[in-house]
Amino acid sequence: MSKPRYGIWAPVGGNFGPLNSPDEPIDASYDRTRSLVLEAERLGFATTLVAQHIANPRSLDLDQLETWTAAAALADATDRIEIIAAIKPLLFHPAVLAKMALGIDAISHGRFAINLVSAWYRPEMERTKIPFPPHDERYRYSTEWLRVVKLLWSGERVNFQGEYFKIQDLSLRPAPISKPHPRVYLGGASDAAQILAAQEADTYFINGQPIEDVRKFIKGVLTRSRNLPKPLRFGLSGFVIARPTEEEAKTEFDRLMALQKQEEHYRLNLAKGIDPEAVMFQIFAKNPAVGGNGGTAAGLVGSYDTVAERISDFVEIGIETFMLQFHPFSKEMNRFAEEIMPRVKRLQLVA
């Protein structure tokens, strides 16, 4: 089994699970994100993901941290942790984004990556009049967009003529510190997302869901054609509720679910803006959960030993990176580092 990498979702939209609770008031500030990422780095977490929205999809009245300025600041504030910035290709011309990414790659001394998502939240596009093509066309656009970005990351002079972009006699300097270029993560559950991930991504993110469903996802993606020499790696999103006993974990799950239910208006508001062709939300509907991006549907709920065993099971089927959510964030992240990480390590030694 490979050694698992643990990461945290940066709280760019506030909290995970209940948005506003007695344990943790809502806070989407950079100061809070910086504090949590520095703490994660100290605890041994390997990576953090900074999601991207122009506006908070749960409500326009809620704060939303801007992704790329935050990622640049985090790159400077940290020393070891990988900084992953999500990017919706519709929002940035590939030449502009490629240059921005090279800048953060330099600031971080090679610890920067992107997470390509082809957009599912319609209102932020409609309200800004940014074109929002149908689902499969967005993936064709993303495929060409990523090709241009990678060509420009090469440091070579680029001439490119495609369906969406034309680049004439352009090269970007300095060349990336990451070799051959910043790592590319990719999220999305549709066939189009899986095809693009298999062809061009370094790591494919799977939203939290039961292990047998994850196994099928991995098996299916690995049957698709691959353009890169290195094998595709896999990451999983999850919300962790770990306690000394199963009963305590179940009690906390029920408590958080009840608090989350009190904020049903946020979920309903978000649902109005979802592209109906976005497959991941069809999966979420089958697996009600605490947290975002599948959350507790990954099954990381239970006693310390149970959660450690489930992580080991996921590693065994091919998951390398675990992008995690907690509530309250700092307290539960520390609990995970103290109780779960060592148990997983011991399980791997036995295996």
CA–CA separation, 328 and 314 (whole Å)? 24
DSSP state of 9: E
Round to whole Å and give the CA distance between 328 and 26: 11
DSSP 188: -
Phi and psi of 129, rounded to 5°? 60, 25
Smallest CA-to-CA distance from 60 within 264, 220, 351, 269 is with: 269
Alpha-carbon span 217 to 89, nearest angstrom: 24
Quick: pLDDT tens for 128-141: 999 888 889 999 99
Q: Write phi, then psi, for 257 (nearest 5 degrees).
A: -65, -40
Predicted structure pTM score:
0.95
Take residue 125 and report the two structure tokens written for it.
């596009």
**Structural tokens at position 194:** 């899986």
337: burial class by Cβ within 10 Å (0-12, 13-18, 19+)?
middle
- The token pair at 4 is 């698992």
CB 106 within 8 A of CB 158: no
Q: pLDDT tens for the chain, 351 residues: list them.
A: 578 999 999 999 999 999 989 999 999 999 999 999 999 999 999 999 999 999 888 888 999 999 999 999 999 999 999 999 999 999 999 999 999 999 999 999 999 999 999 877 788 888 899 988 888 999 999 999 999 999 999 999 999 999 999 999 999 999 999 999 999 999 888 899 999 999 999 999 999 999 999 999 999 999 999 989 999 999 999 999 999 999 999 999 999 999 999 988 888 777 776 767 666 666 667 777 999 899 999 999 999 999 999 999 999 999 999 999 999 999 999 999 999 999 999 999 886
> Residue length, the chain?
351
Distance CA 305, CA 339 (A): 9
CA–CA gap between residue 229 and residue 5 (Å, rounded): 22
Q: Please name which of 75, 62, 77 lies closest in space to residue 25, comparing C-alpha atoms.
A: 62
350 C-beta neighbours (distance < 10 Å), count: 6
Residue 77: partners with Cβ closer than 8 Å, 6 or more residues away: 34, 37, 38
What lies within 8 Å, CB to CB, of 137 at 6+ separation is none
Distances (CA, A) of 136 to 213, 260, 278: 23, 33, 10
The pair of structure tokens assigned to 314 is: 């996921």
The DSSP string of 269-306 is: HHHHTB-TT-HHHHHHHHS--SSSTTGGGG--EEEHHH
Q: Is 262 left (phi over 0), alpha (psi -120 to 50) or beta?
A: alpha
Token pair of 112 as six digits: 């920067």
